[in-house]
């Protein structure tokens, strides 16, 4: 199963952190430091896989954001690339041409979408449409629209 998912910018600023196993706060900070250092140091045309401790790290850059997923030994790295891609597609559909600013200003939505796609380190739903529909339906349930506009201005 997946252990954690991190999104960070090219300057190493964290944009999202999802931990699939209980991890102490100090350990989280250390892992974030290690991941950003390692991934940002990679040469441009390297493969997308790294080894770190006993985990396989799969990372991919989309525009200005790095997506970094930690896998256990029995997990399929090539499929992990598809998982990252699927998450980006979901974000893209929701925000319409998603960019880093969308994730910064609407981080809670990024989490909501993630929580419809993955759970406890495993894939929860394999259909794009079902995930999108669930998010839209949940948004509709919100009592105050002023907090959550579908494409907020910034």
The residue ranges that bind another protein (CB under 8 A) are 14-17, 20, 22-24, 29, 45-51, 74, 76-79, 81-83, 86, 104-108, 111-112, 115-116, 119-120, 122-130, 134, 137-138, 141-144, 146-148, 152, 154
Q: For residue 129, give the 3-state DSSP assignment.
A: helix
Least distance to another protein, CB of residue 142, Å: 5
Buried b (16+ CB within 10 A) or exposed e, 16-26: bbbbbeeeeee
> What's the CA gap between 54 and 145, in Å, rounded?
45
Least distance to another protein, CB of residue 39, Å: 13
Q: Of 29 and 63, which has the nearer Cβ to another protein?
A: 29
User: Is residue 121 within 8 Å of residue 1, measured between CB atoms?
Assistant: yes
User: Is residue 121 within 8 Å of residue 20, measured between CB atoms?
Assistant: yes
Least distance to another protein, CB of residue 32, Å: 9
Least distance to another protein, CB of residue 84, Å: 11
CA pseudo-torsion sign 17, 42, 72, 35: negative
Q: Of 63 and 108, which has the nearer Cβ to another protein?
A: 108
Least distance to another protein, CB of residue 63, Å: 18
Helix axes 77-95, 128-140, angle to 10 degrees: 40
- Closest by CA to 123, choosing from 94, 95, 82, 153, is 82
């Amino acid at each position: 199963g997946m252990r954690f998912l991190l999104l960070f910018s090219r300057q190493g600023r964290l944009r999202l952190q999802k931990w699939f196993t209980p991890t102490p706060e100090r350990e989280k900070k250390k892992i974030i430091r290690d991941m950003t250092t390692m991934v940002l140091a990679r040469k441009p045309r390297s493969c997308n896989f790294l080894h770190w401790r006993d985990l396989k790290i799969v990372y991919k850059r989309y525009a200005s954001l790095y997506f970094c997923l930690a896998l256990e030994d029995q997990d399929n790295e090539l499929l992990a690339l598809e998982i990252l891609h699927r998450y980006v597609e979901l974000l893209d559909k929701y925000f319409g041409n998603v960019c880093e600013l969308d994730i910064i200003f609407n981080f809670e939505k990024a989490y909501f979408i993630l929580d419809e796609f993955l759970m406890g380190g495993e894939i929860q739903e394999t259909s794009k449409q079902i995930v999108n529909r669930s998010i839209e339906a949940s948004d509709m349930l919100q009592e105050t629209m002023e907090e959550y506009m579908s494409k907020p201005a910034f």
